[in-house]
Every structure is written in structure tokens, then in C-alpha cells.
Amino acid sequence: MRFMVMVKATQDSEAGAPPTQELLDAMMAYNEELVKAGIMKGGDGLQPSSKGARVQFDGTKRSVVDGPFAETKELVAGYWLWECASLDEAIAWVKRCPNPMPGPSEIEIRPLFELADFGEIVTPETAAQWDRLKAEAGGQG
């Protein structure tokens, strides 16, 4: 099963506070364990929302709003993509994660859609597109 594991933002990450040497080391060691376990399929840190933007879609209208955005604890600061045998395994691995922030923090775990989950809306054409997409976008580039 595949999961997205999201590190939620904090005031520190939104302020662009750099991680301590200690945290960088601990995270690198943790990422090494994830790779060795065959679980790691990708991951990145996101720059603060002050460097980002939102595009709002309304019919044919497109509006662009620049960051920063207010709802700090709902923002994403970083993520991993994992392949695990079960949600329980993903939870166990998250428990072993070093605290990614200087203070209290939150990590969200979400299962990813596979083609079969879309059921009846899938056509032979969209199934072929999906396969090509996964062949192309399997890695992190």
C-alpha cells in the first residue's frame, strides 16, 4: 500500500528557520533506514508559503493569490511517499521519526489512490494513460 506522509507546518518552518545540525543528522539517519527497508519512494521539504501561491478555479476564471497563508498548522512543510505492507506499518515508522520541528509538531498519513479505487469511471483509454503516467512518474526525477 502506498502512503503520503506529510509534515505539517509550524511558525518555525513558515519563518524559514533552518533545521539544527542535530536534526539534519537524525533525519538523514532516519531516511537511510527508510531506504534500506525499501519503504522510501520519495520526499521533499517545501519552502515556506511566503514563496508560494494559490490558484483559484471558478468556471473559466483563474485568480492567483500570493503567499504567505494564515492557517499555519494546516499547511504542508514536507512530505514522504512510502510503500508499506499496511497502515499499521506506516504508523509504526512515523512513530520512529525524529521530531521534525523544534517544538510540538504533527505528521499526517494518507493512503494513495490506485487505479482500481476509481472503479467504474475507468475506461480502457484512461487505464492506459494511468499506466503511462506511473511508468513516467514512478520516481522523483
**β-strand partners of 58:** 61
* Residue 76 grid coordinates: 504542508
Residue 118 CA neighbour count, 13 Å, CB half:
11
Distance CA 94, CA 32 (A): 14
For residues 17-36, which are near other proteins according to CB under 8 A? Answer: 18-19, 21, 24-25, 28, 31-32, 35-36
For residues 35-74, which are near other proteins according to CB under 8 A? Answer: 35-36, 38, 40-42, 44-47, 49, 51-58, 62, 64, 67, 69, 71, 74
**β-strand partners of 130:** none
State which of residues 22, 85, 116, 121 lies at the interface with other proteins (CB under 8 A): 121
State which of residues 22, 104, 116, 124 lies at the interface with other proteins (CB under 8 A): 104
Residue 84, interface with other proteins (CB under 8 A)? no
State which of residues 22, 85, 95, 116 lies at the interface with other proteins (CB under 8 A): 95
Residue the block writes with cell 538523514: 28
